[in-house]
């Protein structure tokens, strides 16, 4: 271990945003030829720390050394000059340009796309990427776009790569491919930092882990000599259990029946094609699929937010009476007596209003109640207080704008409001996206509680491991069609992964 060469040394790095200390005297070493996993709960300062390395933020205090030389990184351009490249969660590519054009964009050298394509192919051959330099970005899948981002930083001569949650949008197969490439790059002597929440990826890929907690550096260790439990405990600061319950469904009855559902986007693109399934009460129906395969449209159709081309969605009551949902807006659906709750993917852009405080956000569902011209402010306040207490929301008070809360707490507020109305159907989209382990398990518990109360839960998820542990049945979407419905108990991750990429999953090869 002594022959490792530090590519980056960060010393005493402090960064504050207003009164919030994001990083407090953090020390971190990044070595060449090593993959470092940076762990920490939401708001522990991982991304902030890496943003300072890539020139997006400037540290308030502390020093950064690159190859033992003290440097000042004022901008992403400075960072590039020091060989630091960051691949962000949200890709920064121009859709209408080709891969090669995106890769050379912003470089000051003479524009020679042929030469660029040659160099790109060289890089791809070296590490095992597959990129067509002539392909337009809008024709690419998410994983191809990510590959372009990685090639872009390598093209600029990056020796130090930072990847912020790179696998959040990938299928298991694509993740394996990415990891193979990352290992190749490590073996070629690059220093790699990966930020992730998925423990099995950390164990699978990284050589070393470093843990941040509340902006402090807690410690680092060799991955081989630790395990998920220990790492989680370090992140959280106390022992946690890593098991998701899956109680047997009690007395399941059909609740939502979808038949031949076909949906087109405004641009006329087919988003869902002939989708049929039934969701039962007291059951969690997991929806798996690569992102953008129609999950959003499916949930929004059921919630009455999405215009539908054809098909039917019936709400079935306990006594067997059916009500059609299609063609009704959320208000009319509620008027029918259907208590439908929806936790959308975009929490602050759709589920909540970021600039409003907790109790005002509680009002979103209830403000129409009563005949008065004025709003009732008391009951939302009580509800907010109850949600804060029951779900242990960390907030300065119920009059704090929800935008100021961390991701996990925002989600608790949203879920808390949605389950407060005692729903019979609960739709959730990526309920734990971006949440740390602790908050994720709180959300799983809440969903399980609803299931046990007899709620029909439809859970759209992206982490297959979780879906396999949580859902009673898994519906796999592939390109807007139902690729198959499998029981959650005993399903194999590989099989579900195959079904996500190919209809039916098991055709030839």
Positions in the binding site for other proteins (CB under 8 A): 17-20, 58, 60, 70-72, 74, 78, 81-82, 303, 305, 329-331, 334, 342, 344, 346, 348-356, 360, 363-365, 367-368, 372-375, 377
* Residue-wise DSSP of 388-403: HHHTT---S-TTSBGG
Distance CA 444, CA 435 (A): 12
Going by the DSSP 8-state scheme, the letter that residue 366 receives in this structure is: H
Residue 40 zone, left/alpha/beta (φ > 0; ψ -120 to 50; rest): left
Cβ at position 183, least distance to other proteins in Å: 28
Cβ at position 355, least distance to other proteins in Å: 6
Cβ at position 377, least distance to other proteins in Å: 8
CB neighbour list of residue 494: distance below 8 Å, 6 or more residues apart: 172
Distances in Å between the alpha carbon of 418 and those of 329, 393, 427, 457, 475?
17, 15, 10, 12, 23
* Residue-wise DSSP of 1-67: -TT--EEEEEEEEEEEETTEEEEEEEEEEEETTEEEEEE--TTSSHHHHHHHHTTSS--SEEEEEET
Cβ at position 109, least distance to other proteins in Å: 15
The nearer residue to other proteins, 72 or 422, going by C-beta atoms, is: 72
For 313-333, b where at least 16 C-beta lie within 10 A, e where not — what string?
bbbbeeeeeeeebbebeeeeb
The nearer residue to other proteins, 189 or 370, going by C-beta atoms, is: 370
| DSSP bridge pairs for 313 | 258
The nearer residue to other proteins, 290 or 458, going by C-beta atoms, is: 458
Under 8 Å between Cβ of 454 and 461: no
Cβ at position 81, least distance to other proteins in Å: 4
Cβ at position 363, least distance to other proteins in Å: 7
The nearer residue to other proteins, 125 or 374, going by C-beta atoms, is: 374
Token digits of residue 470? 């949580």
The nearer residue to other proteins, 180 or 350, going by C-beta atoms, is: 350
The nearer residue to other proteins, 393 or 429, going by C-beta atoms, is: 429
Cβ at position 496, least distance to other proteins in Å: 30
Cβ at position 420, least distance to other proteins in Å: 14
Cβ at position 353, least distance to other proteins in Å: 4
Cβ at position 315, least distance to other proteins in Å: 16
Distances in Å between the alpha carbon of 416 and those of 247, 259, 409, 421, 480?
21, 31, 10, 9, 30
| DSSP bridge pairs for 283 | 456
Cβ at position 266, least distance to other proteins in Å: 12
The nearer residue to other proteins, 303 or 425, going by C-beta atoms, is: 303
The nearer residue to other proteins, 70 or 118, going by C-beta atoms, is: 70
Q: What is the sign of the dihedral through the CA atoms of 472, 288, 501 and 262?
A: positive
Alpha helices in 161-320 (DSSP H): 172-187, 199-205, 228-236, 295-302
The nearer residue to other proteins, 239 or 331, going by C-beta atoms, is: 331
Distances in Å between the alpha carbon of 144 and those of 130, 148, 170, 352?
8, 6, 10, 32
Q: What phi, psi does 298 have (nearest 5°)?
A: -60, -50
For 157-194, b where at least 16 C-beta lie within 10 A, e where not — what string?
ebbbbbbbbbbbbbbbebbebbbebbbebbeeebbbbb
Alpha helices in 391-492 (DSSP H): 407-420, 437-452, 464-470
Distance CA 420, CA 436 (A): 23
The nearer residue to other proteins, 173 or 375, going by C-beta atoms, is: 375
Cβ at position 33, least distance to other proteins in Å: 22
Distance CA 487, CA 465 (A): 14
| DSSP bridge pairs for 21 | 16
The nearer residue to other proteins, 192 or 363, going by C-beta atoms, is: 363
Under 8 Å between Cβ of 52 and 68: no
The nearer residue to other proteins, 118 or 332, going by C-beta atoms, is: 332
Cβ at position 54, least distance to other proteins in Å: 15
The nearer residue to other proteins, 65 or 91, going by C-beta atoms, is: 65
């Amino acid at each position: 271990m002594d022959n490792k060469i530090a590519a980056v040394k960060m010393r005493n790095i402090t960064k504050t945003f207003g009164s919030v200390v994001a990083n407090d005297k953090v020390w971190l070493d990044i070595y060449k030829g090593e993959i470092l996993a940076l762990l920490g709960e939401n708001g522990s300062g991982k991304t902030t720390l890496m943003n300072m390395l890539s020139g997006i933020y400037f540290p308030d205090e502390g020093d950064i050394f690159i190859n033992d030389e003290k440097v000042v990184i004022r901008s992403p351009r400075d960072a590039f000059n020091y060989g630091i490249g960051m691949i962000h969660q949200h890709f920064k590519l121009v859709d209408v340009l080709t891969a090669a054009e995106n890769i050379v964009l912003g470089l000051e050298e003479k524009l020679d796309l042929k030469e660029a394509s040659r160099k790109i192919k060289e890089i791809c051959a070296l590490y095992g990427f597959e990129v067509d330099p002539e392909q337009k970005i809008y024709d690419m899948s998410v994983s191809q776009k990510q590959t372009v981002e990685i090639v872009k930083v390598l093209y600029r001569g990056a020796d130090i790569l930072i990847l912020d949650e790179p696998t959040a949008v990938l299928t298991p197969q694509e993740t394996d491919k990415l990891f193979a490439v990352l290992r190749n790059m490590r073996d070629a002597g690059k220093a790699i930092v990966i930020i992730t929440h998925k423990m099995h990826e950390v164990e699978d890929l990284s050589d070393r882990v470093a843990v941040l907690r509340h902006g402090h550096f807690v410690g680092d260790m060799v991955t081989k000599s630790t395990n998920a439990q220990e790492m989680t405990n370090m992140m959280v600061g106390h022992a946690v259990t890593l098991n998701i319950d899956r109680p047997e469904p009690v007395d399941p009855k059909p609740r939502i029946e979808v038949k031949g559902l076909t949906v087109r986007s405004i641009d006329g693109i087919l988003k869902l094609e002939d989708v049929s399934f039934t969701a039962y009460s007291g059951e969690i129906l997991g929806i798996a699929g690569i992102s953008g395969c129609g999950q959003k449209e499916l949930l929004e159709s059921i919630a009455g937010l999405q215009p539908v081309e054809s098909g039917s969605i019936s709400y079935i009551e306990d006594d067997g009476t059916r009500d059609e949902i299609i063609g009704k807006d959320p208000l009319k659906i509620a008027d029918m007596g259907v208590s439908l709750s929806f936790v959308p993917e975009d929490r602050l852009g759709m589920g909540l209003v970021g600039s409003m405080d907790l109790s005002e956000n509680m009002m979103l569902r209830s403000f129409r109640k009563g005949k008065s011209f004025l709003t009732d402010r008391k009951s939302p306040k009580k509800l907010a207080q109850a949600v804060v207490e029951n779900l242990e929301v960390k907030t300065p008070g119920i009059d704090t704008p929800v935008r100021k809360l961390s991701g996990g707490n925002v989600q608790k507020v949203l879920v808390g409001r949605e389950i407060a109305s005692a729903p019979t159907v609960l739709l959730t989209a990526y309920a734990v996206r971006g949440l740390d382990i602790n908050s994720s398990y709180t959300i799983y518990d809440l969903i399980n509680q609803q299931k046990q109360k007899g709620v029909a839960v439809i859970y759209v998820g992206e982490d297959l491991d979780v879906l396999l542990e949580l859902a009673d049945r898994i519906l796999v979407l592939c390109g807007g069609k139902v690729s198959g419905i499998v029981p959650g108990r005993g399903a194999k991750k590989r099989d579900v992964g195959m079904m996500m990429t190919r209809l039916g999953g098991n055709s030839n090869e």
